[in-house]
Chains A and B, each alone.
Chain A
Amino acid sequence: MNAPSAVELRDATMRFGTRTLFERLDLAVAPGEFLAVLGPNGAGKTTLLNVLLGLTHLTSGHVAINGASPRRGSHDIGYVPQQRAFDADLPIRARDLVRFGVEGHRFGVPFVTRATRRRVDAAIAAVDAGAYADAAVGLLSGGEQQRLRLAQALVGDPPVLLCDEPLLSLDVAHQATVSRLIDERRRVQNIAVVFVTHEINPILPYVDRVLYLVGGRSAVGSPSEVLTSERLSALYGTPIDVLDVRGRIIVIGSDEVAPTEPHGDPHHVHGHVHDHGHEAHPWQ
């Protein structure tokens, strides 16, 4: 028996009513492995993350994080969401955002210990964000914010990092630096990364394997195995062309057939410009 998987799904099925998001999915992500989860909007990528976070339960099958059942608020998981706008006068500094990763969930009087401060400083230094650690979060660029999100997710030194579209609404340069940082941290801290994205190209150099979800069907394998015209055409059930243009992968034909969902528009599998509406409200 090898070392236990960081993330394990066995015979996992997820249905909402009559709609199947994925069926009999088998997947094990090893410590230090980088898994990209691809697929059109509504294919179940975010639902899969919610299953791993313990916020949603599988219809059937087995799921384990670091050998144990997922549970809400587990310290085995770091979570990086997509970037969103913060108001400029929001009373929160970069280091406060990172500190949430240590004690944001703790009830009781907010007394900052020296040990916590050291951990927060170390996490900020690890993503090279020390220069703006005391700046208001609302004044930082999208890329700077995502570095801090990464620091927040990793400050507890979790074995698993879940990313939900963390590059969305960043420009190309920021996408590249944040991707590189995630790769660097998973190597240094031996973290299993599950990275949900519409856009494979910024992370393509780092991805070990791909999970592709389409309309209840799924494919798992290395990028070069899964991202081919044959595999994707079979997955979508319609002709799909995968082009490799100077190392960038472009998927053509998936837009028209992307299954529409009650909450989602058909979305580009290959993201050009994601003009993404922010769900950016600190209250809900």
Chain B
Amino acid sequence: MAVSLYLDQPFAQHALFAAGFVALTCGLISPFVVTRGMAFAVHGTSELAFTGAAAGLVIADNALGGALVGALVFALVIGALGVRERERDSTIGVVLAFGLGMGVLLLSHYHGFATAATNILFGNIFGISVDQLYGLVAIGAVVLLAIALLFRPLLFASIDPEVARARGLPVRGLGIVFLVVVAFTVTEAAQIVGTLLVLSLAITPAAAAQRYSPNPLVVTALSVAFALAAAIGGVLASLASSTVKPTVFVTSISFGLYLLARAIGPLVMRRGRTRSAAP
């Protein structure tokens, strides 16, 4: 079926707008997530967004609000407990497992539509209402503002924490603020790809982008471009197929871009060395 038939339908317009906004925010945080080695933290945050969403459904029939609270609580717990990276990973594992258990318990008490549960896990971009769209835009605006303000100090603290600390930057505080930014972004992205597959928009774009260039601004721009391609492309492909969920296409396009980057990145990457210098 032709995609153009859907494009004047509100559900499709909402979906495309939401996908674009989510991709923009995910693409922006992705380089920091990769640089800071936070893949597992992002995964944990999104799983706890699931628990929060389940709680939100049971208590107030509001999955998005619940997801945001769940993700924020998790981010603050990780920020408070896990100082060192190795310690942090085990802390995430511990809290994540318990949180998922709670999510299952909460869902067993939910007597609404069963699809509400699977929508949290795998995304439901074609079911976005205008109110939800406003919510997504508000969350996304917070993320955009935060990254615009924090870009340099966050990059400094991520790449070179010891010197950043010596230069007076609040390295630990920046880390916690970034975890909160991640929580907002993940909650937003979960609407499209679901909590289980958030990594395809929060990790993969930058992981692919940094194979093309060592320039942090170029990597950020490419990361946003790849996230947009995956999200928008995924929604359009799903409209065209009309049976396959957008999640499948989003993750596939994202993965395809990553494989492409691994294949041709080394050929494109400029080594940036004009001559072999003395030590």
Contacts and interface: CB of A to CB of B under 8 A. Distances in A.
Interface of A: 53-55, 71-74, 77, 79, 81, 84, 86, 89-94, 96-97, 100, 103-110, 128-137, 139, 141, 143-144, 149, 152, 162, 173-174, 177, 279, 281-284
A106 B167 CA distance: 11
Interface string B58-87: 000000000000000000000000011100
Contacts of B160: 97, 100, 104, 282
Interface of B: 31, 34-38, 83-85, 148-153, 155-156, 158-169, 171-172, 175, 206, 209-211, 213-217, 219, 270-279
Residue from the set A92, A132, A141 with the largest chain B CB neighbour count within 10 Å? A92
B277 A131 contact: yes
Contact of A174 (B270, B274, B279): B279
B40 to A, nearest CB: 12
A105 B168 contact: yes
B161 A284 contact: yes
Contacts, number: 156
Nearest to A279: B162
Given A81-B166, A89-B211, A283 B37 contact: yes
Contacts of B206: 91
Contacts of A96: 155, 215-216
A79 B206 CA distance: 30
Nearest to B275: A131
A283 B164 contact: no
Given A96-B216, A282-B160, A110 B151 contact: yes
A77 B169 CA distance: 14
A206 B31 CA distance: 42
B279 A141 contact: yes
Given A107-B153, A134-B272, A79 B163 contact: yes
